[in-house]
Amino acid sequence: MPDPSAPGDGPDAADVPVPAIERLFRDEYGRCVAVLVGTFGDIDIAEEAVQEAFTTALDRWPDAGVPPAPAGWIITTARNRAVDRLRREASRGNRHAQAGLLTAPGEPAEEGPVQDDRLRLMFTCCHPALSTAAQVALTLRLLGGLTTVELARAFLVPEPTMAQRLVRAKAKIREARIPYRVPADSDLPERVRSVLAVVYLVFNEGYAAGSGDRLVREDLCAEAVRLGRLLVELMPDEPEAVGLLALMLLTESRRPARSGPKGALVPLDEQDRGVWDRGLIAEGQDLVRQCLRRGRPGPYQIQAAVNAVHSDAAVAADTDWQQVLRLYDQLLAVAPGPVVALNRAVAVAEVAGPGQALALLDELELDGYYVFHAVRADLLRRLGRVAEAATAYEAAAALTDNRAEQDFLRHRRDALPQGDRSLSR
């Protein structure tokens, strides 16, 4: 049998660009880690082995070419690295390493697990022994492949704080011997809230990437939708799982219109609705109707209903903003919070005018959130307060690391009337 860690001679056998390997990392990191956790029962061993495998790929593939099944190559190489490490440590009397070797199968890991390893890993990370913040952060790290920097930005905490949170969460799983499995039906309700939050945050990071040149990370959007479908299949009677899937499908339906030919951001009211995905809209709206018939509204279902209203409008001017505002009133009652209040203020601006909406924003404490400043800038622009609007646009641009969003916000700033804007420079 040939050495499975040797590079293959696939069709891309020359000058493999590093971004292609980085894209594979984004696409497959979560699955590779999940398979290795299932094999060895240890998150740290799995993560380290997968990272070593990708480092080896970066070293070999640019010269030797991409193997025919790159994800399988990564999984097999990572498994071999993990086994080598455990053998070295077991020879020194490390009982943990000896136990890991006992759980490792004798044959190489298959590329496609029989059952869904990512779903099992998700429920492992969302065990009630962990805090909610740790559950979400760890799952995003392991399944979404988000870096510590990206997680820190998503949670609005310093990077060292996030790093410690991840270390403590993994240690808790190891020390408490939290099992790697989908829990029994009786245990599902207490775990579902965190699991849904994880899927939602993965989708959000994909739909509005927190950093980089790309506005959207299609890999994360696809993974979140896939996991959402699995959760609905697993828990068909959980209305919030259905609501989350509907929310993601309706939002994803707009992605083809959300960026221009050169990747520029196109806001909702300027999008070409003719290129929205009508199939996803029909599926999402059908799920919203299912939720309405159940009569057990929750945050994801209400947000899905908001997006269903938007999808009903053939052009932006046809949007039923009164209905959107009523839904945000309901959402604010069910899940109060400053971000919900910010979104409600956008609807208020369309119904009652920018002045009333701006007064609502002035009551919110979201100074570190770039969307807050972007919304505020738009309201100030509509009120003719040009200098303040320019300052707010710049504040918003400074708080996002996504190049497309920065370009959009600064373009809006530069398009303001050329009056006295000295205060904003």
The DSSP-derived string for 188-218 is HHHHHHHHHHHHHHHHHHHHT-SEES-S--H
For residue 95, what pLDDT is reported? Answer: 53
For residue 300, what pLDDT is reported? Answer: 97
For residue 13, what pLDDT is reported? Answer: 37
- Residue 45 tokens read as 């061993």
C-alpha 19/C-alpha 174 separation (Å) is: 34
Sign of CA dihedral 134, 139, 142, 146: negative
Pairing of strands 401-402, 211-212: parallel
Q: Which of 232, 224, 202, 198 is nearest to 126 (CA)?
A: 198
pTM of the model as a whole: 0.71
For residue 259, what pLDDT is reported? Answer: 85
For residue 201, what pLDDT is reported? Answer: 83
Query: Which stretches of the chain score pLDDT less than 50?
Result: 1-15, 97, 99-102, 106-114, 422-425
**Count of CB atoms within 10 A of residue 210's CB?**
20
For residue 213, what pLDDT is reported? Answer: 58
Cα–Cα–Cα angle for 43, 46, 47, rounded to 5 degrees: 85
Sign of CA dihedral 273, 278, 284, 289: positive
* Class of domain 18-103 (CATH, top level): mainly alpha
For residue 113, what pLDDT is reported? Answer: 34
For residue 14, what pLDDT is reported? Answer: 41
Q: Which residues contact 84 (CB under 8 A, 6 or more apart)?
A: none
For residue 17, what pLDDT is reported? Answer: 56
Q: In the chain, what are the domain boundaries?
A: 18-103, 115-180+188-235, 237-319, 332-366, 368-425
C-alpha 86/C-alpha 35 separation (Å) is: 17
For residue 423, what pLDDT is reported? Answer: 41
